[in-house]
């Protein structure tokens, strides 16, 4: 992966695509203040360098029947690297787990899990998560509402 030194225009491209990945190259070029061909070259360079990993749709989970979001703090009996990786590989096979983060502190991992309802989550909890190898305990926290949901990261424009 070739690294690209980010300038102000590159940061504008990243910020604008992060906010709206479906905008046309022509619209993007107008927003960042350059013509379309060099804008497209910059986008391709940012993709090739790994700054842009992909493009995704923001799908409404509630409309599709996923009314429950739970954050599950998972403790493992062993934190040996091979056991951590084995757990992460198992998590990859669970489609209801949307995020998995390894933590420092009381819990080893925190999982963001979506489900149709509390009973569906409870079934996943008891048949999959707590019965998984090396899992010692799980603390579940039901999300009541989401007051902020922002994709990506803050991208300052004036850093060079």
Q: Do 74 and 44 share a structural domain? A: no
Q: Do 79 and 32 share a structural domain? A: no
pLDDT at 158: 82
User: What is the pTM assigned to this prediction?
Assistant: 0.86
Average pLDDT per 10 consecutive residues for the chain, totaling 160 residues: 80 95 96 97 95 93 96 97 98 98 96 98 98 97 94 84
| Alpha-carbon dihedral sign for residues 29, 32, 35, 37 | negative
Helix (H, G, I), strand (E, B) or coil at 114: strand
160 falls within a domain:
no
Q: Do 83 and 20 share a structural domain? A: no
pLDDT at 138: 98
pLDDT at 151: 87
Secondary-structure breakdown of the chain: helix, strand, coil percentages, each rounded to the nearest 5: 35, 20, 45
């Amino acid at each position: 992966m070739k690294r690209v030194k980010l300038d102000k225009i590159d940061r504008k491209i990243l910020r604008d695509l992060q906010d709206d990945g479906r905008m046309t190259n022509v619209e993007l070029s107008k927003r960042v203040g350059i013509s379309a061909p060099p804008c497209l070259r910059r986008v391709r360079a940012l993709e090739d360098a790994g700054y842009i990993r992909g493009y995704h749709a923001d799908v409404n989970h509630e409309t599709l029947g996923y009314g429950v979001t739970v954050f599950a703090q998972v403790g493992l009996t062993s934190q040996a690297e091979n056991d951590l990786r084995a757990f992460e590989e198992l998590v990859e096979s669970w489609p209801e787990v949307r995020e998995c983060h390894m933590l420092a502190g009381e819990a080893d991992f925190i999982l963001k899990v979506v489900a149709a309802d509390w009973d569906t989550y409870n079934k996943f909890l008891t048949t999959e998560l707590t019965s998984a190898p090396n899992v010692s305990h799980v603390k579940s926290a039901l999300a009541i509402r989401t007051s902020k949901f922002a994709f990506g990261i803050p991208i300052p424009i004036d850093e060079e």
